[in-house]
Structure formats: C-alpha cells, structure tokens
Amino acid sequence: MPRSIQVLTPTLLREQELQTLSGAVLNVSGVVPNDPAETVLVNPIVRGFEAEIFVDGLVAYGDTAVIDPSSLAGVDRVEIAKGPTSTLFGGGTGAPVGGLINLVSRAPAADAFLNLGVRAGGDALIAPRFDWNAPLSEDAGLRLSAEYSSSDSYLDAVTTDRFAAYPVLSLRLSPKDAVIVRGLYTRIEQLEYSGLPTAIARLPNVDPFQFTSAPDAPDTTIENRMLTTEWTHRFSNAWRGTVRARRYESAFDEYASFPYLAFFPLSGTEAAIIRGQLPTEISETTLDASLLWQGRTGSIGHTLLLGATWDTVDYHVGSGFDFAPIGVIDYALGPAGLTFGAIPPITGTQKNDYRTLALYAQDELKFGERLSVLVSGRYSQYEIQEVAGAARLTEETYERFDPRIGVSYRLNDGVSLFAGYATGSRLTLFFSGDMGQPPVPETSESYEAGVKFDVRGIGLSGTIAAFQITRSDVPVGSFLVPFGSVQGGEQESKGVELDLVLEPTPNISVLGSFASTDATVTRDTDVPGASTVGNQLARVPDTSGRLAARYRFSDGALAGFGLGLGATHSSAAPTANANVGFGDAYTVFDAQGSYEWSRYRLGLSIVNLTDEDYLTPYQYLAQDVVRPGQPRTAFVSLEARF
C-alpha cells in the first residue's frame, strides 16, 4: 500500500506484557497516546493531530477516546494507519485527519480451549481474565474473552475498576456465505484527576503525586455497548460482497472537582477548586456495504472496491457546574480537608445529531510486477444539528469530496518506493463564536513519500516516511468561551518517521521507531494578544522514539525463557498551544521476562526501570497542567491453557 501502516501483532502484545492501548501504541513512530485517565477528554495523536479509535474497521463516534476499553483482553492486533483516512473510513463525526487506530477483535478458532490468567502487582492491581473458544460445529464457532481489573494508582486517592468483554460468534451459512457477530461491553469507574499546574509543579515543596481535587468526589463512569454483524458473500473467485451493521451505545457520567485557572488564577501555590458534572449519552447506528473485485483488464491488474456508508449519531449531554469554589487547595500542603459536597444540579443540556451518507470507490492498479497505482475517492454528505436547551445553534448540511492517490514502485524483491496525496474532512463540534456564523467542516491535506523494505536474508523490515499535513478550519480552545471552542485556525505537521523490525533468527527480535515532528500553529484566531502562530502543538514532542529487544531461549536448560528490554524517549512537549507550560523530556526503560512450560506461562514486567522522575502534558480543559509519569512498578502474570 502506498502509505504508512503499522501493525502490532499478537506476539508483540504478549511478549511486551502490554495491557492497554496507550502502552501498545508507544511502539509506533509519531503516535502520542492518551493516558487512560484522559479517556473522556481527548483522543491519541498521530502525526501531530488527534486520531480516532476504530473497532474492527468501523468508528465509534470518535470525538473522544471513550471507546478505548483500557484492556487488550479481546484484541488480536492493533493497526495504525497514518494521515487522513476519509476515503475508506468515516462516520460518526466524519473521518480522522491525523490517522486512525483500529482494534481488531479475536475471532473463533478451530480448536477448543480455555485460557485462564491473572495479573497482579504494583498499586494493588489485581486483574483476572479468560479467553474461551468453543467450536460449535464444522460451520460455527464461539469465542468469549473478558477481563476485570481493580487497582489503586501511583497518584494519591485515585482508584480504578475496569471490565471488558468481547463475545464473538462465527457462522458459515454456505460455501459462499459467512457471518460473524461481534459484541463489546466495557465499563470503567475511576476518580477523575485534574492535573498539576505547570507554574508550580516543579517547586521542591510540591508533591507531584498528590491528588489535586476533592478525594471524595463521585467516580467518573464510562459504559460502552456494541454489537456488530458482518455478512460476506462470495459471488465468484473474482467478486465478493460485504455488509456490516453496527449499533453502538455509550454513556459516561463525568464528575470532577478542578481548578479553572482562567477564572481563578493561582495565588502562590494556592488555587480555588470548583466542581461539576457532565452526564453524556451517545447512540450510533452504522451500515456499510461494499463490493470487491479482483481481476484484470488486458495487462492491468485491479483490486476494485465500491461501497456506501450510512451513519447516524445522537449525542445528549447535560452540564451542571458550580462556579462558587468548594475550597482552596494549597499544592505545597496537599488537598487536606477538601470535600466535593453536593453534586451541582443540571443547568444546561445539549442535543447534537450527526448524519453521514458516503459513497466511496478505490482501485489498486498493477502495471506489471513493479508499478502499482492506488486511486480512490469518497463523496460525503454531512448533516449536523446542535440544540442547546430550546435554542437551535446549528442546522447545516455539507457536501465534500475527498480523493486519495498513491504510487508504489518495487525496486527489487525487498525494497519499494511509495508516494501519496490525500485529503480529509470531518464535522466541527461544539462550535461557538464568529458572531453566530455556522461552522464549516474541518479539512486536511496530506503529502507522504517513503520507502518500505523487507530484506529476508537478514530479517530486516520496516518503513521510512516523510510527510506533511495541513489542517484547516480548526476549532481553537478559548478562555473566553468556557468549555467551548472557536473556529478558524490552521495547523501544519511535517516530519520524518522510521519504523523497523530486525529478526535475524527466530530467537532475536529488535523493534525500533523514531519520529521527528514539526507540528505548529500556522493561523490562529485574531483575539488581541492571544495569537499562538508559530507555537508547537499541544502534546506533540519534536522527537520521540522507542527501541525494544527480545531474546527467546529455544534450547538447553533455559528453553522456554524469554527476556525483553525497552527504552522509550520523548522530548519536552507543551501542555497547550499557548506554549506557556511544558512537560519534561524523558527516557524511561522497561523490562519483561517470561517462562513457558507445558500449558503454563509466567510473565514479569517492570515499567520505568530506573525510576525516572518526569512530568508529561495532561489534557484538562486546555489548561497548563501536567501529570507525573509512572514510577518504577512491577507486575506479574500467570496463565494456564486447558
């Protein structure tokens, strides 16, 4: 494919003892994960811009990462597609402008088995899980994966409970027809953390691990329910049709006590704390039908895909904020005596409806053995209605056409050059400003070129890519519009990325990734004195990378043992586009070990091996706040297969 795509395999996820999506995507260049505590706040970032999380190829709303189950119990692999993806992927609020992260669920297998496991360790973590596979007949199979975890946190007072279940049913109705039904249920309960102001975070008398709000606040809860049905019919060896239908329902009740520094600035090491609630319900229905043809016209080979998508999202949110402070926190002393009090009543409601109708087509043309050309396009009709209370804020319909073209040329059996151009578009949400003018879709334009290699003789494979993405009509956070945004900005991200894997023998694997990213504001709102033009984009480091190695013992007394060591680096990144506060530059090390015998597997992992102290940007209402990185922590896991 003439674009940069990385896949995190089941082997990598298992050997690195990875438990969360946030931890997994650190292996890929140019990806900035969101912390699990930021699930209701932001998405992860790919190539400088927010990416959206897909599950089995279909989006789930997408405005924030609430679909992230914070568990990989039922995930087979993780796919990251970089750059705008509007041509084939969309729905919800549009399509990703920075890229997408796709979770691929495990599928039923031919053999019956039951895997039981438990993970325990630092911060009082206990996490039992199971993976049960049951062939029902030669033509049917059932698989159910689930995990429950309960833990404290290295942050004072924070506790988290999570549950995730992935039921999957596969049916072969005939030699030409197959149906697979996938379910997903997740529930997360955690005390919301509001970050530490950068202005005082590094003072010697400020404990970076303190809880920065009222510790008795109700937990924020997130619940997701999803059912996806996929029917595939093979008309012939050349033609195949697929119909996918999904129903997604999500509810999160967000409760928070936090400083709002725009209204109540810091006074020395003190800040006033306010409180609020934000109950939200989301329901989404998606239908996608496609037709695939693989054949030839003369000497030209074709892989032709034609499809249509219909997607509808209903979003309901209530808000209740009490701007009378519940108290004052002195960060030099901690939150002693701070209590949440009564939950503020709901004072505002908003109901947003989004509709997407899209037609797409893609043809991969092969000219001989070396040259491939990818041509695709997507016509989208977006509808948006936003109603606050009884006031209709927005009722608009937009039409967009987003093309993609790419070229790949194979120099030899192990090296290919590629280049591509694409555009993207998505709806602008919660728009408020510009003297009542209606919003316009946010758009992006991307250029990419690079080399892909797979040198079998030495076991070296990977991608080197250079890119540039321009994002236009950007919603820009504003202190003048609390909890809202204004539109009209432009941002640009450009850089170079490297992803490689070296496996000279079956015993040795080395993964390396590196990204140099120049992500800046190129046009901003014209609020006097508030321009951020030229500033680095929030949360995006200039340089980042990871190096990880694994050695597997296959002979002798140590057969069955495996050892891994990794290092993750990031330069300092700003907490907001204003570039007032920054996180730290850091390099942290991790280690893993495992032993497999008979039907059992024992695993050990240690994060932040050298116990590095560092602060990272934390996204909370676009404020200049940070969060401490996890200190050295060890975990152990035990699995049995029956």
Q: Domain range holding 600?
A: 5-108+123-146+153-185+197-641
User: Residue 189 pLDDT > 80, yes or no?
Assistant: yes
> 11-25, 137-151, 167-181, 470-484: which range is least confident on average?
470-484
Q: What is the reported pLDDT for 485?
A: 61
- Which is nearest to 309 in space by CA: 276, 279, 286, 275? 286
The single-letter code of the amino acid at 523 is R
Q: What is the reported pLDDT for 270?
A: 94
**Does a structural domain hold residue 396?**
yes
8 Å CB contact between 554 and 507: yes
Non-local CB neighbours of 436 within 8 Å, separated by 6+ positions = none
- Which is nearest to 287 in space by CA: 336, 230, 330? 230
Distance CA 51, CA 33 (A): 10
Instruction: Please state the rounded mean pLDDT for residues 390-417.
Output: 92
Q: What totals of helices (H) and strands (E) does the chain contain, helices first?
A: 3, 33
For residue range 230-271, what is the model confidence (pLDDT) as tens digits? 999 999 999 999 999 999 999 999 999 999 998 899 999 999
User: Residue 349 pLDDT > 90, yes or no?
Assistant: yes
- Which is nearest to 442 in space by CA: 395, 387, 382, 385? 382
Q: What is the reported pLDDT for 435?
A: 45
Q: What is the reported pLDDT for 242?
A: 98
**What is the CB neighbour count within 10 angstroms for residue 344?**
19
> 247-256, 462-471, 476-485, 517-526: which range is least confident on average?
476-485
Return the SS3 of 409: strand
Residues in the chain, total? 642
Distance CA 470, CA 465 (A): 17
Distance CA 49, CA 80 (A): 14
Q: What is the reported pLDDT for 440?
A: 82
Distance CA 339, CA 489 (A): 39
**End-to-end Cα spacing for the chain:** 40
- Which is nearest to 343 in space by CA: 362, 367, 360, 318? 318
Reported confidence tier of residue 477, pLDDT bands at 50, 70, 90? low
- Which is nearest to 480 in space by CA: 520, 417, 530, 426? 530
**Does a structural domain hold residue 115?**
no
Q: What is the reported pLDDT for 64?
A: 84
Distance CA 47, CA 497 (A): 9
**Does a structural domain hold residue 135?**
yes
For residue range 423-436, what is the model confidence (pLDDT) as tens digits? 988 887 766 544 45
Q: 């030899």: which residue's tokens? A: 412
Instruction: Please state the rounded mean pLDDT for residues 481-498.
Output: 80
Distance CA 16, CA 553 (A): 16
Summary mean pLDDT of the chain: 92
Distance CA 590, CA 637 (A): 16
Q: What is the reported pLDDT for 528?
A: 63
For residue range 124-144, what is the model confidence (pLDDT) as tens digits? 999 999 999 999 999 999 999
**Does a structural domain hold residue 116?**
no
Distance CA 202, CA 615 (A): 9
As to burial, measured by CB atoms within 10 angstroms (0-12 exposed, 13-18 middle, 19+ buried), residue 452 is buried
**Does a structural domain hold residue 113?**
no
Distance CA 623, CA 63 (A): 19
CA diameter of the chain: 79
Instruction: Please state the rounded mean pLDDT for residues 480-484.
Output: 54
Strand partners, 590: 566
- Which is nearest to 82 in space by CA: 309, 422, 476? 422
Q: What is the reported pLDDT for 85?
A: 78
**Does a structural domain hold residue 70?**
yes
| Proportion of the chain in helix, strand, coil states, percent, rounded to 5 | 5, 60, 35
> 112-121, 323-332, 385-394: which range is least confident on average?
385-394
Distance CA 148, CA 44 (A): 23
Q: What is the reported pLDDT for 484?
A: 54
Q: How many folded domains does the chain comprise?
A: 1
Q: Structure tokens of 415?
A: 């090296």
Distance CA 132, CA 124 (A): 27
Distance CA 121, CA 150 (A): 11
**Does a structural domain hold residue 117?**
no
Beta strands in 460-542 (DSSP E): 460-477, 485-502, 508-523
Q: How crowded is the C-beta side of 107, counted as CA atoms within 13 Å?
A: 11
In angstroms, what CA-CA distances link 124 with 117, 119, 158, 476, 543?
17, 11, 12, 40, 34
Global pTM? Answer: 0.93
**What is the CB neighbour count within 10 angstroms for residue 559?**
12
537's enclosing H/E stretch is: none
For residue range 29-75, what is the model confidence (pLDDT) as tens digits? 999 999 888 888 889 999 999 898 999 999 888 788 889 888 899 99
For residue range 546-578, what is the model confidence (pLDDT) as tens digits? 999 999 999 999 999 999 999 999 999 999 988
Q: Structure tokens of 49?
A: 């811009």
For residue range 592-639, what is the model confidence (pLDDT) as tens digits? 999 999 999 999 999 999 999 999 999 998 899 999 999 999 999 999
For residue range 75-107, what is the model confidence (pLDDT) as tens digits? 999 999 998 777 888 877 777 788 899 999 999
Q: Tell me, what CATH number does 412's domain have?
A: 2.40.170.20
**Does a structural domain hold residue 114?**
no
Strand partners, 541: none
